[in-house]
Amino acid sequence: MFDFIYYPVSAVLWFWHKAFGAILGPDSGLTWALAVVFLVFSLRILLLKPAIRQIRTSRHFQYLQPQIAALQRRYAGDRERQAAELRKLQREHGFNPLMGCLPALVQAPVFLGLFHVLRSFNRTGTGPGELGMTPAANADTPNYLFSSADVQSFLAARLFGAPISAAITSSDSVLAFVAPYGGVPSSVTIAMVAVPLMLVAAVATHWNARASIARQGSVAAADPRATTMNRLMLWIFPLGVLVGGPFLMIAILLYWVSNSVWTYGQQHVVFARIERDEMAKRAAAAEHRVVTAPRPGVRPAGRRGRKARRH
């Protein structure tokens, strides 16, 4: 049903697995971990240009603060009219506060697609939507673009002794399933890898949201829609990592951590570059005013022209 998501995600993951597998070996846990990390990087590179465009638009809208303040004073007793006038002002200047959530909205189907592709390496479950394959049949069945050899390689992959295909809450049947590819892992071994990833992802998600909100100024604060989204990013998303982390396989946690690290770096690098560009433009404008300003004691040309016409 969602093959239009699963196959592209599988293709990018397959490419990076082959690339790193040629160097580190296809069965290495580090190879699979790097494949997941660079899947994230590939997506974020594609989203970089629209993200920069939205940041520039947001900063341009901050110059409209006097008009926003005037709207707030004028309709102080009518919140509905105030919100309507604010949306009108945003439309006139091509600004949409929800566009700042575009990267997260685009990443959501990729995250779900990756979750499905990784989960499909083990199709022995018998619950709702499960295929109920035998371990032997699963090991010999390709998974989207991955061959049966790749399926066995993924099941054998270990990161610091923990299978990247396992979660803290993985059932005994799942843990027994990966046993032929490296022994039965203990829950403690899995937790020692998964818990640090969960904590890093939760903290990074919170601080990335905090940094983003701090740069929004009063534009977002004046818009109820953006305020609601800010609260979700600041508290609900990090809490979701901690609550859902024990149920996510280590490979998915790697996705979350690498995505948070990229966001942190992108925010600081992009904002620093934009600020330098804006400072350069202001300096050029100030220099232009100095150059075009009349010298002391010399009347402007327009005034001399009007005086000459009167004579």
Q: State the Cα–Cα distance between residues 158 and 27, nearest whole angstrom.
A: 9
Provide the number of structural domains found in the chain.
1
* pLDDT value at residue 303: 52
Hey, what are 292's tokens?
């075009």
Give the mean pLDDT of the chain: 82
Range of the domain at 134: 3-282
Domain-embedded: residue 38: yes
**297 or 283, higher pLDDT:** 283
Domain-embedded: residue 130: yes
Q: What is the pLDDT of residues 202-256, one digit of tens each?
A: 999 899 888 877 776 555 555 676 778 788 888 898 999 999 999 999 999 999 8
Domain-embedded: residue 287: no
Find the mean pLDDT for residues 140-144: 94
* pLDDT value at residue 61: 67
Q: What is the pLDDT of residues 255-282, one digit of tens each?
A: 989 988 898 888 888 888 887 877 887 7
**151 or 288, higher pLDDT:** 151
Q: State the Cα–Cα distance between residues 309 and 311, nearest whole angstrom.
A: 5
Give this prediction's pTM: 0.78
Domain-embedded: residue 295: no
**234 or 302, higher pLDDT:** 234
Domain-embedded: residue 159: yes
Rg of the chain on CA atoms, in Å: 27
Domain-embedded: residue 303: no
Q: What is the pLDDT of residues 164-214, one digit of tens each?
A: 988 999 877 777 777 677 777 888 999 999 999 999 999 998 998 888 777
Domain-embedded: residue 191: yes
Find the mean pLDDT for residues 287-292: 76
**140 or 65, higher pLDDT:** 140
